[in-house]
Structure 1
Amino acid sequence: MTESVEHTAGPAGAPHPGSEPAPGGYPAARLRLLQDSAPTGPDRRAALARLTDDWLAGLLDRHATAPGLSATALVAVGGYGRGELSPRSDLDLLLLHDGRSDPRALAALADHLWYPVWDLGLALDHSVRTPAEARKTAREDLKVQLGLLDARHLAGDPELSAALRTAAYADWRESAPKRLPELHALCQERAERQGELQYLLEPDLKEARGGLRDATALRAVAASWLADAPRGGLEAARTLLLDTRDALHLTTGRATDRLSLQEQDQVAEALGVLDADTLLRQTYEAARTISYAADVTWREVGRVLRARSVRPVLRGLLTGRTAGKGERSPLAEGVVELDGEAVLARTARPERDPVLLLRAAAAAAQAGLPLATHAIRRCATATAGHPLPVPWPAEAREQLITLLGAGPYTVPVWEALEAEGIITRLLPDWERVRCRPQRNPVHTWTVDRHLVETAVRASTLTRRVHRPDLLLVAALLHDIGKGWPGDHSVAGETIAEDLAARLGFDARDTTVIATLVRHHLLLVETATRRDLDDPETVGAVADAVGSTGTLELLHALTEADALATGPAAWSAWRGGLVADLVKRVAARLAGEPEPEGPDADGPTAEQERLAIEAGRTGGPVVALHTRAEPTAESAEQPPAQQPVGVELLIAVPDQPGVLPAAAGVLALHRLTVRAADLRFLDPINDGPVLLLSWRVAAEYGSLPEADRLRVDLVRALEGALDVPGRLAERERAYARRSRAVPAPPPRVTVAGGSSRTATVIEVRAQDAHGLLHRIGRALEGAGVTVRSAHISTLGANAVDAFYVTGEDGAPLADAAAHEVASAVEAALR
């Protein structure tokens, strides 16, 4: 049997003595085709492949009848095998033989094929093998195996080519469970080395993540029959990258895949594109489509291989479940985890629940899970004719904020929503920044990804601010004006104001968000370019910001923006200058009027009625009811679309442990506290009554009955219900399956100067099961009285204020107050 012969480059020096001059017709015809502007894109690649096919077939036919030769065939593999021949593409060729030819005659035939190609200056990858040798090499070399999947007969014995192609596909499908993880590892290693095409200013169209190599890998996965890529837009994206590479080859006259800055204008002109920015944006969109398809496909491959790794019968014996059925773990109302993804529950009805998609996205990101493509598409289809009302209902806004605050896992969930067209449906102004390049080399990302990255960075700073929801939304919108002419900060202010109102923020919050967007560069530019000792400098910043609350948010936004820009945009020096400026501006703004105390609003008639009944009966009184939230368009929505809130009122005669007991009972019943207010009333002079007013939502499942809540609250106050033990048990069970990303640590502080009659303990932490119960127990353990409390859950962040006094009813001394704050913080860690 003849040994296989393989070369990867042309020989040095003069042509081989046995070679013949290339036929004059092919070089001339090739040149005419490449200079002809009529055929473009796929048509030109196919025409060039056909022209090359005819030439190579003629070479083989001319020499395949020489003495000593048996059956042979010439096969195109790789890109040439697919018939996609770019102007400077390599020719990937395999000379097949049946093993009975004379070795010297076979080598001479190979020379008659390879040297004419080299004489034309074309790159050539070639080999000479029997079908058995080709299969053996493919089993040892993944790249060879992938190339054989695109094998195409050019000339010679067609049975040799057909037999090899059939065997190659059979071998691939048989070895796929072992080979696909190897292919995935190669793709990941290449992505680490080359970067992500969709964000690079000078991308490699072939090797970068989302490039042509990844598109080829997806074809191989589909050929394995184990999984298939989402088809929507994939072929169009691949074609666009191939067209761009063709134009790059013709523009440079070189076999290059890197779209360099100095060549982008010429390539854009060759493609008939408006300018280089438009070219990059189209390229990024194509790469994003391929990257998303790759993410979904490799996730499906992993799921299939995991399912195959354990025999169904054994899996059923070990788990006690029916073979082939995965375990569903609830994540949120209508959302469960299944096989490592967030999917819709069987009972979910997206056509009746327009917030379901945002809830699913938030739950997926908080759990560190991908959001299943079919869940996104089902929700998108179901709600196509029933969009969210404008302004959004409170739950939709809260779920968006929860998604933005999930940290790094926000990114893949956001990208999945964007790939399916959801983001521009929710936020129409997003279209202008989507895939928009940033020519400044300081920027790592496109405009849209930079905005998401800024929200990711801001999520780590939420403990520093009183309104993390405003910080996260401002982070998402701060560069939204870059899609418009003029100063992007000025344009962005108007857009952010409109979008904030669309999301359902009130007028005051909308103004704050717009101010943050308008001045998101103010602090860093002033700190690094102005004299901070000049009172006019500090005064100008104070006038622009307007309040200490906005200043606090702007400081965090400035840091998040810089960190998300790139490593050159932030340093300890810049951070120190900005912090110094903020300190000076805060001192200037310190003369603001003191905010109203916590008891500025009196109780409602229903609250007074419940307090009277609790005082009369000596036990807790519970009322639970729903209420419609008015929106600008709610009257036009069908009943199933009406945004609804759930209000829970609890009145209890004053006694120790009410707050932790009530909060614990709510947690046991899987009620999430979105907002709460605690105050004392003395309606009939029979002793104070503690009134707790909650806005709650069922974590998943239906709402509990008010009588059930009252019974459990009585048991908890009497000590018959072990609330801490039950919550700890649930937390352990949840932790076993939780993949949630680590949240910033809790922060508990003493808010000096906030009240003359009480000490204000502020808690900022990640919302979690039983959080308010743990806070209440810690405060009770510290020996203080909670005179009132104001609870806010902003997305996934709890921002709570507790007005506490000592046993004498007076505010705590400074040292004692800080001891209480430290004790609460320790209890939350």
Structure 2
Amino acid sequence: MQKIENQRAIIDRKSIFEALQLIHEENSANSRAQILSLLQQSLENGRKEIAHRLMNAPSAGHAAAAQQAFLVDQLVRIIYDHVTQNLYPVANPSAAERIALVAVGGYGRGEMAPHSDVDIAFITPIKRNAWAEQVAEAILYWLWDLGLKVGQSNRSLDETVRMAKEDLTIRTALLESRFIWGDRDIYAEARNRFWAEVVGKTAPQFIADKMAEREARHQRMGDSRYVVEPNVKDGKGGLRDLHTLYWIGKYVHRVRVARELVDFGLFTKAEHKKFWNAENFLWAVRCHLHQITGRAEDRLTFDLQREIAERMNFADREGQSAVERFMQFYFLNAKIVGDLTGLFIAHLDNNMAQKGRRFLPTIMRRPRKLNGFRLDRGRLALPNQDFFKEDPVRLIEIFQLADKFELEIHPEAMRTARRQAKLIKKITRLDPRANELFLNILCSERDPETVLRWMNEATIFGRFIPDFGKVVAQMQFDMYHHYTVDEHSIRAIGLLAQIEQGKLKKDHPLAASIMKQISSRRVLYVATFMHDIAKGRGGDHSVLGAEIAEILCPRLGLSDAETEMVAWLVRHHLLMSATAFKRDLSDFKTILDFCQIVKSPERLRLLLVLTVVDIRAVGPAVWNSWKRQLLTDLYDAAEEVLRLGHKQRGRDERVKTKKANIQENISLSKSAYNNIARKLPDPYWIAEPEDIIERNILLLHENKDTELALDICYYPERGATLVSIMAADHPGLFYRMAGAIHLSGGNIIDARIHTTKDGVALDNFLIQDPLGRPFQEEAQIAKLKQTIGDALANRSKLAPKLEAKPLVRMRADAFKISPSVFIDNQASNRFTVLEVNSRDRPALLSNLAHALFKSKIMLHSAHIATYGERAVDTFYVTDLFGAKIDNKNKLKSIEEALLKAALGENVPDVGIAA
């Protein structure tokens, strides 16, 4: 354990035990409550002292972890002495009446966070007797009463050895065992038997099992070091990865502390220093997590990141907040953990494998032309340590060869590349051969994602492209982006390659088919690489990124035309998603305005694919069928305009085609169908897919004599529930609908609001639950139908129910977003467009709809988009007479009403528009 300064300030075992003895002697029969109070106060005081020390030295993780283990040690010793001397004393103990208290697991290593489990093994020389069981039970009850979470085992020496042989978890725990108190000879015998009888010659199997265990844990945790809410203990690049290296080193070489790994050649001194620094930082973060939450919390969530960044003295810098700088440092340490793991495994491979073979399995390839590089058991290696110094371009070439021949790179070569990355200077960056090699990697038809990630881990990527180096490990402090900027960009390139290879055809059929038509293939790969390269610079990253592209593309060897195209794609990489998700695609001016920017079919194809991989690379579950359909609708409409010219001739043809297709499939007579079809305006036919139109027409036909009808069904094509309503059109209809859906526990993700030519409202909503899942159980749909029906028919008071419904605390509460309202009278020829940006929360849309209702304006369509904690709701509105709203006072009052609603404040009634 690390040396602990001023131990008695944390806990003074001798004085506490003397006080305990005094309490026991004065009232031995009823002393438990007083003794427990004494121990509780000692634990609390010790924790306060440790917390105080950590606040004064907020990065001293090793010290805080060691102090916590010391505190628990002393309490366990006090309790053991009380139990064996006062409660169950044995005047003349037999050979069987002996017991050793042994710390195992992390506690055995002498490292604990404030609320870590206390893992103790009670070991007896032979089968447990009554005295040993009484002692162990009494100690456990004292520890439990102190509020400690205890993991315990009570075994004889023989049982301990047998169980360790059978169970990997027990074996790992005992590997880190440490004597706490009791009979030291029993502990010594247990240790000797463990090494002689359990470890023996089982090191290869232990290593294989621990690596498999590590891989399974990574899969559970998201298999990336760069998730934006990482698990400090069990996540990839976290403490458990470092512990795994230590366990393996200890098992193979019996090292006592991590620094001894250097003596066996598993680390250099510099690498051990990195190990120590990374572990120290991660322990500091974990201890802060436990202290802030008051529990064993190891996930670094958004609401905790800001507070820990402040505790650890990170400050704001231009373009980066304190929390973003803290998380960038966290990810750099997680990256170091990954680098050390690779080197450690390589050393094991070399030391333990048979001659000419690999200790860990791999695919062996033997390419002939390696330009001076050599193969070492199937891995790309260096002929000598000066190979990169002789020609720094080789620092790029090694990765290009790895990609070309699908080879692994020897960890020693990776270590040398990382150490000599500084050889890449301006002359290398401007070398045409180096840039050609890099472009070959970036645009590879094989697996560019893997090789680019290797380059990034070796720091070569950021050295060769300094602008990319600035976003390495850069976090975006929001709930939308799941990965750091560099990881997001590399994942996007990987997705692009998979789409091109046809591996994601089912998820992205349009993008997969378009890839075959694209003539500017390398433009697309370079644009995907650069689309977020200017994040964190304090300005519009799209504009700044386009400026970087104009400089960087010629260096990479792209022509002027290719450079212009890449810069345009980077500048407009958010255009297609913003248009599809936040604008009314049935409004023809939306399509025309979009096409006015895009201008050519090739740009449209490139932009579609870039948009798809950008969204998909944000994180798991961000892409869904609803987004796919909206992007497809926009692409189809824009492609038609760009192909036919700026005319609505193609639009008319689409309406006629839809009408004919539906008439052919619907189970209605021609006259009944035509009677309803002629009442539906052209925007309706453009906006809705054929299957929804068919359901709507049947709803109208079957309820022609009623004033209100609902149709609710699971809609798998969009991953949502479709709610269709037919009602007499009146102000407040949307507000009542949104409020009823909120009361039912649903969120509206899209809304299409229509009015037939004879004044009937026909609205279609797509809804999901708060976790993004559709309502599809019969009971769910029945409840939804009942709640909506009651609200629309005025059978229940909606406003009081909405006020009474509690708002659950959301993760989005960790973010401060000032709401804003944008009013656009140019985006549509017929409507005023209102866009509200605010923090997402329950009942937001219901509140906004209520504000529109009180503002006495007509809502014609609504488009709902969420980006993590941020909601963007767009409304197409007119005044009560169906005209655009251009009165400045009226627009100002609407803006104020929406801002109040976004903040959850009451909205006053607004007078009739002038």
Distance 1:526 1:409 in 2: 32
Q: 1:166 to 1:495 in 2, by over 3 A?
A: farther
The structural deviation recorded for 1:292 is 4.0
The structural deviation recorded for 1:560 is 2.7
Aligned with residue 198 of structure 1, among 205, 217, 225? 225
Question: Which residue does the alignment assign to 1:780?
Answer: none
Question: Which residue does the alignment assign to 1:220?
Answer: 247
Q: What are the superposed Cα offsets for residues 142-191 of structure 1, whole Å, 9 maximum, x if unpaired?
A: 11111112111222343433343344345336212222222222222222
Aligned with residue 291 of structure 2, among 250, 267, 292? 250
Aligned with residue 101 of structure 2, among 74, 93, 114? 74
The structural deviation recorded for 1:291 is 3.5
Aligned with residue 65 of structure 2, among 29, 42, 45? 45
- Map 1:280-319 → 2, pairs under 5 A: 280-295=327-342, 297-298=344-345, 307=354
2:432 aligned with 1:405, yes or no?
no
Distance 1:585 1:303 in 2: 63
Q: 1:335 to 1:126 in 2, by over 3 A?
A: same
Question: Which residue does the alignment assign to 1:524?
Answer: 577
Aligned with residue 568 of structure 1, among 612, 618, 622? 622
Distance 1:505 1:466 in 2: 14
Instruction: Decide whether the 8 Å contact of 1:76 with 1:152 is kept in 2.
Output: yes
Q: 1:374 to 1:161 in 2, by over 3 A?
A: same
Q: Which amino acid in 1 is paired with 2:340?
A: A
Task: Report the 3-state secondary structure (helix = DSSP H, G, I; strand = E; otherwise coil) of the residue aligned with 1:198.
Answer: coil
The structural deviation recorded for 1:489 is 0.7
Question: Which residue does the alignment assign to 1:485?
Answer: 538
The structural deviation recorded for 1:120 is 0.6
The structural deviation recorded for 1:247 is 1.0
Q: Which amino acid in 2 is paired with 1:190?
A: R
Q: Which amino acid in 2 is paired with 1:263?
A: L
Question: Which residue does the alignment assign to 2:422?
Answer: 384
Task: Report the 3-state secondary structure (helix = DSSP H, G, I; strand = E; otherwise coil) of the residue aligned with 1:203.
Answer: coil
Task: Report the 3-state secondary structure (helix = DSSP H, G, I; strand = E; otherwise coil) of the residue aligned with 2:202.
Answer: helix
Instruction: Decide whether the 8 Å contact of 2:121 with 2:152 is kept in 1.
Output: yes
Q: 1:473 to 1:247 in 2, by over 3 A?
A: same
Q: 1:174 to 1:268 in 2, by over 3 A?
A: same
Question: Which residue does the alignment assign to 2:76?
Answer: 56
Q: Which amino acid in 1 is paired with 2:523?
A: L
Q: 1:224 to 1:578 in 2, by over 3 A?
A: farther
2:650 aligned with 1:577, yes or no?
no
What TM-score, normalized to structure 1?
0.61
Distance 1:547 1:392 in 2: 33
Q: Which amino acid in 2 is paired with 1:108?
A: Q
Q: 1:197 to 1:413 in 2, by over 3 A?
A: closer
Question: Which residue does the alignment assign to 1:349?
Answer: 387
Q: What are the superposed Cα offsets for residues 740-779 of structure 1, whole Å, 9 maximum, x if unpaired?
A: xxxxxxxxxxxxxxxxxxxxxxxxxxxxxxxxxxxxxxxx
Question: Which residue does the alignment assign to 1:147?
Answer: 173
Task: Report the 3-state secondary structure (helix = DSSP H, G, I; strand = E; otherwise coil) of the residue aligned with 2:422.
Answer: coil
Question: Which residue does the alignment assign to 1:703?
Answer: none
Q: What are the superposed Cα offsets for residues 488-518 of structure 1, whole Å, 9 maximum, x if unpaired?
A: 2112112222332443445443333222211
Aligned with residue 510 of structure 1, among 529, 554, 563? 563
The structural deviation recorded for 1:451 is 0.7
The structural deviation recorded for 1:531 is 6.4
The structural deviation recorded for 1:357 is 2.2
Q: 1:269 to 1:393 in 2, by over 3 A?
A: closer
The structural deviation recorded for 1:139 is 0.9
Distance 2:308 2:421 in 1: 41
Question: Which residue does the alignment assign to 1:32?
Answer: 48
Distance 1:385 1:348 in 2: 11
Q: Work out the percentage of aligned pairs sharing the same amino acid.
A: 27
Q: 1:419 to 1:330 in 2, by over 3 A?
A: same
Instruction: Decide whether the 8 Å contact of 1:268 with 1:279 is kept in 2.
Output: yes
The structural deviation recorded for 1:121 is 0.7
Distance 2:171 2:349 in 1: 21
Q: What are the superposed Cα offsets for residues 202-242 of structure 1, whole Å, 9 maximum, x if unpaired?
A: 33322223322222212112223389476463332222222
Distance 2:281 2:409 in 1: 28
Question: Which residue does the alignment assign to 2:507?
Answer: none
Question: Which residue does the alignment assign to 1:108?
Answer: 134
Aligned with residue 187 of structure 2, among 149, 154, 161? 161
Q: Which amino acid in 2 is paired with 1:188?
A: E
Task: Report the 3-state secondary structure (helix = DSSP H, G, I; strand = E; otherwise coil) of the residue aligned with 1:384.
Answer: helix
Q: What are the superposed Cα offsets for residues 600-645 of structure 1, whole Å, 9 maximum, x if unpaired?
A: xxxxxxxxxxxxxxxxxxxxxxxxxxxxxxxxxxxxxxxxxxxxxx
Which residues of structure 1 form unaligned runs of 5+? 1-15, 313-325, 591-829
Instruction: Decide whether the 8 Å contact of 1:555 with 1:582 is kept in 2.
Output: no
Aligned with residue 312 of structure 2, among 261, 266, 271? 271
Task: Report the 3-state secondary structure (helix = DSSP H, G, I; strand = E; otherwise coil) of the residue aligned with 1:174.
Answer: coil
RMSD of aligned residue pairs (Cα, Å): 3.7
Q: Which amino acid in 2 is paired with 1:365?
A: D
Q: What are the superposed Cα offsets for residues 403-457 of structure 1, whole Å, 9 maximum, x if unpaired?
A: 2234684334333332332222111122332222345544443221111112122
Question: Which residue does the alignment assign to 1:593?
Answer: none
Which residues of structure 2 form unaligned runs of 5+? 1-28, 254-264, 316-321, 501-514, 647-914
Q: 1:377 to 1:177 in 2, by over 3 A?
A: closer
Q: Which amino acid in 1 is paired with 2:324?
A: D
Distance 2:609 2:169 in 1: 48
Distance 2:200 2:458 in 1: 30
Q: 1:181 to 1:406 in 2, by over 3 A?
A: farther
Q: 1:250 to 1:391 in 2, by over 3 A?
A: closer
Question: Which residue does the alignment assign to 2:527?
Answer: 474
Distance 1:343 1:276 in 2: 40
Distance 1:311 1:282 in 2: 35
Q: 1:333 to 1:19 in 2, by over 3 A?
A: farther
Instruction: Decide whether the 8 Å contact of 1:206 with 1:257 is kept in 2.
Output: yes
Q: 1:330 to 1:578 in 2, by over 3 A?
A: farther
The structural deviation recorded for 1:251 is 0.8
2:495 aligned with 1:451, yes or no?
no
Question: Which residue does the alignment assign to 1:237?
Answer: 278
The structural deviation recorded for 1:306 is 6.1
Residue correspondences, number: 561
Q: What are the superposed Cα offsets for residues 695-727 of structure 1, whole Å, 9 maximum, x if unpaired?
A: xxxxxxxxxxxxxxxxxxxxxxxxxxxxxxxxx
Question: Which residue does the alignment assign to 1:130?
Answer: 156
Q: 1:472 to 1:367 in 2, by over 3 A?
A: same
Q: 1:402 to 1:279 in 2, by over 3 A?
A: same
Distance 1:570 1:27 in 2: 50
What TM-score, normalized to structure 2?
0.55
Q: What are the superposed Cα offsets for residues 633-663 of structure 1, whole Å, 9 maximum, x if unpaired?
A: xxxxxxxxxxxxxxxxxxxxxxxxxxxxxxx
Distance 2:306 2:488 in 1: 24
Instruction: Decide whether the 8 Å contact of 1:356 with 1:379 is kept in 2.
Output: no
Q: Which amino acid in 2 is paired with 1:187?
A: R
Q: Which amino acid in 2 is paired with 1:66?
A: V
Task: Report the 3-state secondary structure (helix = DSSP H, G, I; strand = E; otherwise coil) of the residue aligned with 2:120.
Answer: strand
Q: Which amino acid in 1 is paired with 2:630?
A: R
Distance 1:354 1:473 in 2: 23
Distance 1:66 1:26 in 2: 28
Stretch moving more, 398-407 or 341-350: 341-350
Distance 1:414 1:480 in 2: 15
2:466 aligned with 1:428, yes or no?
yes
Task: Report the 3-state secondary structure (helix = DSSP H, G, I; strand = E; otherwise coil) of the residue aligned with 2:414.
Answer: helix
